[in-house]
Chains A and B, each alone.
Chain A
């Protein structure tokens, strides 16, 4: 199957700082990318959907100004957590969509905010 990478795999930052997470589709073009958040022993919750070259669509309850998403090319999307706080600590997962109903997931990024 197609491969999606995420960088970094793990990041620790201080409260109040911003963190950027990259998501790349390595061997396919992803016109749509999705960002999820996964809490311990909980399901994946969709945060936002981004289409290349346009603004992301955020799910209800997700702060647009806190979780900035950029989808600059067909192979790269970034999620920036601005002014991070301990409650933002979580596992963030991206996926790229190559064709209808086929999403390929990255390995995830564990964010810890101290």
Chain B
């Protein structure tokens, strides 16, 4: 079945550091790919998405490119802020339902 594997956390960085959270997937067909973010005490929010190969999703300085050849959708940000501290989930949607990775907790220190 479809599955998503993402980088184990927790990840701790200093403010203004470069961020990469790795995500790879296994799926039949051509899924849509997503990154969700969960801030403390809140529900999951869609951060960005890509619906086909080579698409780049971007939002709030975060980017991820749909790489079909490597079945990856790594999340990157050039300069993180303390307010980016949250749990990040990579997900795919195949025929009907969302399948999530295990989540990566990110902490940014000032």
Contacts and interface: CB of A to CB of B under 8 A. Distances in A.
B100 A44 contact: yes
Contact of A4 (B36, B43, B89, B96): B43
Contacts, number: 44
Contacts of A41: 102-103
Interface of B: 4, 32, 36, 41-46, 49, 51, 89, 93, 96-103
Chain A CB count within 10 A is highest, among B36, B44, B99, B102, for B44
For the residues of B in contact with A, the DSSP-based class is strand
For the residues of A in contact with B, the DSSP-based class is strand
A104 B43 CA distance: 9
10 tightest A-B CB contacts, nearest first: A105-B43, A105-B44, A107-B43, A43-B102, A43-B100, A44-B100, A106-B43, A107-B42, A46-B97, A101-B32
A44 B13 CA distance: 25
B45 to A, nearest CB: 7
Number of contact residues on A: which range applies?
A: 20 to 34
Contact of A101 (B44, B45, B93): B93
A93 B100 contact: no
23 contacts: A1-B45, A1-B46, A34-B97, A43-B4, A43-B89, A43-B101, A43-B103, A44-B44, A44-B100, A93-B43, A95-B44, A101-B32, A101-B49, A101-B93, A104-B43, A105-B36, A105-B43, A105-B44, A105-B45, A107-B41, A107-B42, A107-B43, A108-B43
Nearest to A102: B46
Contacts of B103: 41-43
A103 interface: yes
B89 A44 contact: yes
Nearest to A6: B43
Given A44-B89, A46-B97, 14 more contacts: A1-B46, A4-B43, A34-B97, A43-B89, A43-B100, A44-B44, A44-B100, A49-B96, A93-B44, A101-B93, A103-B46, A105-B43, A105-B45, A106-B43
